Amino acid sequence: MSALEFIFVPFGLFIILSLFIRGESSLSKYIALTLFGFMLSFSFELYSALPLQGYMELGNYLEVKEFGFSLSLAVDRLSVIMLILTSVLLILVGLSSWSMKNQAMYFNLLIAFSGAIFGVFMSTDFLWFFIFWELTLVPMYFLVGIWGAERRVYAAVKFFLYTHVASMFILLAFFLIHKESGSFDMRFVKESMLLSPVLIWWLLFTGFAVKMPIFPFHTWLPDAHVQAPAPISVLLAGVLLKMGAYAMIRMVILLFPETSQEYAWVILLLGVVTLFYAGFMALKETHLKKMVAYSSISHMGLVVIAISTLSYAGLSAAVYEMLGHAFIIAPLFLIAGYFHHKTGSWQMQDMGGIMQKTPYVSAIFVVAGLGALGLPGTMGFVGELSILLSAMKSHGIWLAAIALASMIGAGYIIWTFRRVIYGEMSEVVAKTKFSMNPMEFLALLVFTLFIIGFGLFPSILFDAINPIFSSYPFLGGAL
């Protein structure tokens, strides 16, 4: 299949399947998993065919000459890495939704989502990028609104509106870029062509900051992530936030090197605030999934700090941390959702001593938690260390202070272990029977494997990531 088909076949499948397959039929599930498998192999195919630097053309469709607007598909290393991450997560999310209710529609929506997200990472036309960017919201709106927890409707509508409003700034920025440079193609637009780069920079930065999310634009996230069903929280954290970070790197940092240099302090400041604010919020939280959500925001704060270095090493570390964050936060969300599903409570005090009842799942929670606090040997450690080093190199020694955030992280994670995993068994847990679908457990195992595997051998990832940024001369040197 060609790249275009990977975008539009899912939409076609979505319409056909949702007209004919309903209820608890598991056909959609198998079709979805097969499709995601093809997507993964396609992403690896792209990766192996990729030149070391620059873009690889995948075709140009639906051209509108009069408007300079066409669906031009091209990938570079950054987008292919995001494609691989997306398809891996889609497969694992599919596995962990194995026993979801109202299955047919759920997987139909996942299929639609997969098309949109592939479009985001493959299109180099600003307007088409925006089209797919917005399109990812629609399946998410339904997935959160139908399958979510108690306050799902509020969360779904808030998520949809909040991120949609933010997108309007992005769209306006794209219009201004097109007006001033005459092109919608992000490969050909240069900062020097633009008359008002500062305005455009701020519009783009605000728009993407909401998605990442960066303090103070993060308020949609705790609601959406907590109310979403656990596998969808994984997609939100693992793919949607990454989409924001991807766009931030590609369209803010790499497209506007000079303006970014000028406002690097803004990015840095907001990154540090995000990191600490979310850390403290996680510390005071007694709602298990909210704690995970805030820890997720806190990790994105690290990514923001890494981006603010505008250096080769920093951006590589940012991409590494994005992957690490996806793999670490996913099992935490899944297990938090699982505990809630079984015990019926979100509160940590109701979950004490869960280790005695379900040791394997708890062990995975512990491994992922240790990854989140940055224990050596996990992806979390490598990510945090490389970000710390690059930040200190770019911004000065005082940034060693971000190591403190790691201590806060250790605080809330280990305290959570104490309250949820170990400790005395609570009455609720004693009454509950724990049993997990083998497929869902398999997904958790794979995540664990990634956390430890890429933590012990980070060079596998860094070898893939490093060439992305080496072709940009304005970025500072390596470590």
Partner 1 sequence: MISAFTLLFLAALLSIALHRSYFLKPFALMALGISAFFTLDGAVVPLSGFVSDVSTQLFELIVEIVLFALVLHEDEDISITQVLFIGAASVLLLQSNTLISFVLSFEAVSIISVVLVSYIKTKDQAEGAVKMFIAGALGTGFLFLGVFFYVMGGGDLLQEITSEANRFEIIGLFIMLSGIFYKLTIVPFHGWAVDSYALVRHSHAAILTAVAKTVVALATFKLFAPFLATHINLSVPLLATLAVITMTLGNFLALFEKNIAKILSYSSIAHAGYILLAFVAVKSEYAKDGILYMSIAYIFMQSAAFLVLDILRKKYEVQRLQELQGFVSQNAILAFFFTLQLFSLAGIPLLAGFLSKAVVFYAVVDAGFWYIALIALLNSALSVGYYAWIIKTIYFDKSTSKERHVEITLPLFAQIILAVGTIYFGIFAGVVFSSSL
Query: Taking Cα atoms as reference points, which of 295, 135, 152, 137 lies closest to residue 223?
Result: 152
* Shortest distance in whole angstroms from residue 272 CB to partner 1: 30
Nearer to partner 1, 135 or 318 (CB): 135
213 upstream amide cis, omega within 30 of 0: yes
343 in Cβ contact with 429 (< 8 Å): yes
Nearer to partner 1, 104 or 278 (CB): 104
218 three-class SS: coil
Which DSSP string do the residues of 370-422 spell out, in sequence order?
Answer: HHHHT-TTSHHHHHHHHHHHHHHHHH-GGGGGHHHHHHHHHHHHHHHIIIIIS
* Shortest distance in whole angstroms from residue 135 CB to partner 1: 5
Using the CB atoms, write b or e for 220-237: b if 16+ within 10 Å: bbbbbbbbbbbbbbbbbb
HSE-up of 434 (CA within 13 Å, CB side)? 21
User: How many residues are there in the chain?
Assistant: 479
Residue 2 token pair = 């060609």
Nearer to partner 1, 35 or 135 (CB): 135
Nearer to partner 1, 142 or 320 (CB): 142
Q: Which residues contact 25 (CB under 8 A, 6 or more apart)?
A: 103, 104
Between CA 76 and CA 190 the distance in angstroms is 17
Query: Taking Cα atoms as reference points, which of 159, 118, 122 lies closest to residue 142?
Result: 159
446 in Cβ contact with 89 (< 8 Å): no
Using the CB atoms, write b or e for 130-161: b if 16+ within 10 Å: bbbbbbbbebbbbbbbbbbbeebeebbebbbe
Between CA 232 and CA 94 the distance in angstroms is 10
Query: Which DSSP category does 183 fall into?
Result: -
Nearer to partner 1, 131 or 428 (CB): 131
* Shortest distance in whole angstroms from residue 156 CB to partner 1: 7
241-to-92, 355, 408 alpha-carbon distances in Å = 17, 31, 22
* Shortest distance in whole angstroms from residue 438 CB to partner 1: 31
Nearer to partner 1, 145 or 409 (CB): 145
Between CA 7 and CA 136 the distance in angstroms is 12
Residue type, 206: T
Residue 423 token pair = 């400790």
203 in Cβ contact with 176 (< 8 Å): yes
* Shortest distance in whole angstroms from residue 172 CB to partner 1: 6
* Shortest distance in whole angstroms from residue 232 CB to partner 1: 15
* Shortest distance in whole angstroms from residue 30 CB to partner 1: 22
Nearer to partner 1, 46 or 140 (CB): 140
Between CA 375 and CA 368 the distance in angstroms is 10
171 three-class SS: helix
* Shortest distance in whole angstroms from residue 347 CB to partner 1: 25
Which DSSP string do the residues of 93-135 spell out, in sequence order?
Answer: HHHHTTT-SSHHHHHHHHHHHHHHHHHHHHB-BHHHHHHHHHH
Nearer to partner 1, 76 or 185 (CB): 185
* Shortest distance in whole angstroms from residue 117 CB to partner 1: 14
Nearer to partner 1, 168 or 430 (CB): 168
Nearer to partner 1, 119 or 369 (CB): 119
* Shortest distance in whole angstroms from residue 250 CB to partner 1: 19
* Shortest distance in whole angstroms from residue 267 CB to partner 1: 23
* Shortest distance in whole angstroms from residue 254 CB to partner 1: 23
Summarize as ranges the residues that interact with partner 1 (CB under 8 A). 11, 18-19, 22, 62-67, 69, 127, 130-132, 134-135, 137-138, 141-142, 145-146, 152-153, 156-157, 160-161, 164-165, 167-169, 171-172, 175-176, 178-179, 199
Nearer to partner 1, 135 or 268 (CB): 135
Nearer to partner 1, 169 or 201 (CB): 169
Distance of CA 8 to the CA centre of its chain: 22
